Amino acid sequence: MVQVTTPRPPDTGNRRWLVTGCCGFIGTNFVRMLLADPQGPAILNLDCLTYAGRRENLAEFESNPRYHFSLGDIGNAEAVETAFASFRPHAVVHFAAESHVDRSIGDASQFIHTNVGGTQILLDAARRHSVERFLQVSTDEVYGSLGPTGSFREDSPMAPNSPYAASKAGGDLLARAAGKTHGLPVIITRGSNNYGPYQFPEKLIPLAIANASADRTIPLYGTGLNVRNWIHVEDHCRGIVAALERGEPGRVYNLGGADEVANLDLLEQLLSIMGKSTTLIRRVADRPGHDMRYSLDSTRAHQELGWRPRIRLSEGMAATVEWYQRNAAWLEKAHDTSFQDYYRQQYESRLAGEGKPVTAKA
């Protein structure tokens, strides 16, 4: 049973944004960016603190009158109503989600609860409370997988391949329907693969940094030729603000990074930055349904929002390595017993079966 805490009274005079899931990776970076701007809004962070949420990521701001934390599950209509009624937000930015593809393959139920059911509960509350903007934070994974050429545009068909991607597509369609049917001013952003500080080490880049730092092997799925379109989390967060402030209700905006890299090349670059040997990379059994390539065409965001990514992968990855090295205690804490159980379950048989060092491309 999730405990619901009542938020402190809102600031008067400021804009108020209810932001879900800010104790996770992107939400933490988003709040830090907004609070660094003296003209920024007051924020209510509604988060139920799953394994991926850490309240201490933002604890230093709990005495800041512009930041409020409320412990609550977006799948619980009562908790959501309490948050809206007490904070009276002008806008909603919806990050909260189950976000890891591999976990969705094992059990999709929590993905449906949060990414589909929770999104509908938020949309209903936003409508009841007449919010001026609802921004659904989504992903390029809703479009499915590409061959060697081309990029997804906002009018590309949705063809999700993993339970995670399907649950995000479900949330996007419900958000669209709330706009069409009820006139809720909904904007959807679809970001590409994010990296940067505070990312939970189940995802490729922080997992590789953590393992390489301890001279542990790094599991590479399948051929390692799968391509991801990487975006630094700060660029993504700036794009979300641009879409919220300058986007048109009813519209979707792709927010893609400037770099498209195969996983094997990415790991080689990362290990070179860290001064570690590529013999740490182990090719292991592939992820079922593994999407081959993502690439976003973000022309609409460039033209209509005046947004472009600024941080190239080589620069962003070096800064990210440095952040994890400076924050070894943060990483250590993420490696608790439940993560170790997850890691064993996810990787032990894969590593035992095929764990040969990768010395050349497949």
Query: Which residues are part of the catalytic machinery?
Result: 140-141, 164
Does residue number 211 form part of the binding site for ligand NAD (CB under 6 A)? no
Pair 42, 10: CB distance under 8 Å: yes
SS3 content of the chain, % helix, strand, coil (to 5): 45, 15, 35
144 binds ligand TYD (CB under 6 A): no
Shortest distance, CB of residue 118 to ligand NAD, whole angstroms?
5
118 contributes a contact to ligand NAD by CB under 6 A: yes
Of the ranges 188-196, 267-275, 287-295, 305-313, which one interacts with ligand NAD (CB under 6 A)?
188-196
Q: Which of residues 156-175 bind ligand TYD (CB under 6 A)?
A: none
Contact between 221 and ligand TYD (CB under 6 A)?
yes
Q: How many Å apart are CA 199 and CA 205, to the nearest integer?
A: 9
Least distance in angstroms from the C-beta of 279 to ligand NAD: 28
Beta bridge partners of 228: 261
Closest-CB residue for ligand NAD? 24
Q: Does 41 bind ligand NAD (CB under 6 A)?
A: no
228 binds, among ligand NAD, ligand TYD, none (CB under 5 to 8 A by kind): ligand TYD
The secondary structure element, H or E, covering residue 192 is none
- Specify whether the CB–CB gap between 9 and 70 falls below 8 A: no
Is 177 exposed, middle or buried, given 0-12, 13-18 or 19+ CB atoms closer than 10 A? middle
**CA 70/CA 55 separation, integer angstroms:** 10
Among 7, 27, 160, 185, binds ligand NAD (CB under 6 A): 27
From the CB of residue 316, how many other CB atoms can be counted at a distance below 10 Å? Answer: 24
Torsion sign across C-alpha atoms 283, 289, 293, 299: negative
186 scored as a contact of ligand NAD (CB under 6 A): no
- For ligand TYD, which stretch binds (CB under 6 A), given 17-25, 49-57, 177-185, 201-209? 201-209
CB of 216 to ligand NAD, least distance (A): 22
Best CA proximity match to 209, nearest among 315, 321, 314: 321
| 257 contributes a contact to ligand NAD by CB under 6 A | no
DSSP 311-328: --HHHHHHHHHHHHHHTH
50 binds ligand NAD (CB under 6 A): yes
Binding mask 124-143 for ligand NAD (x = CB under 6 A): -------------x-x----
**DSSP category for residue 60:** G
DSSP string, 53-72: --GGGGGGGTTSTTEEEEE-
Nearest distance from C-beta of residue 207 to ligand TYD, angstroms: 5
The span from the CA of 159 to the CA of 142, in Å, is: 6
Contacts of 68 (CB under 8 A, 6+ apart): 7, 8, 10, 42, 43, 44, 45, 87
Instruction: Check binding of 21 to ligand TYD (CB under 6 A).
Output: no
x/- track of binding to ligand TYD for residues 254-293 (CB under 6 A): ---------x-----------------------x------
Which residues here bind ligand TYD, judged by CB under 6 A? 101, 193, 203-204, 207, 219-221, 226, 228, 263, 287
Which residues here bind ligand NAD, judged by CB under 6 A? 20-21, 23-27, 47-50, 52-53, 73-75, 95-99, 114, 118, 137, 139, 168, 191, 193-194, 200
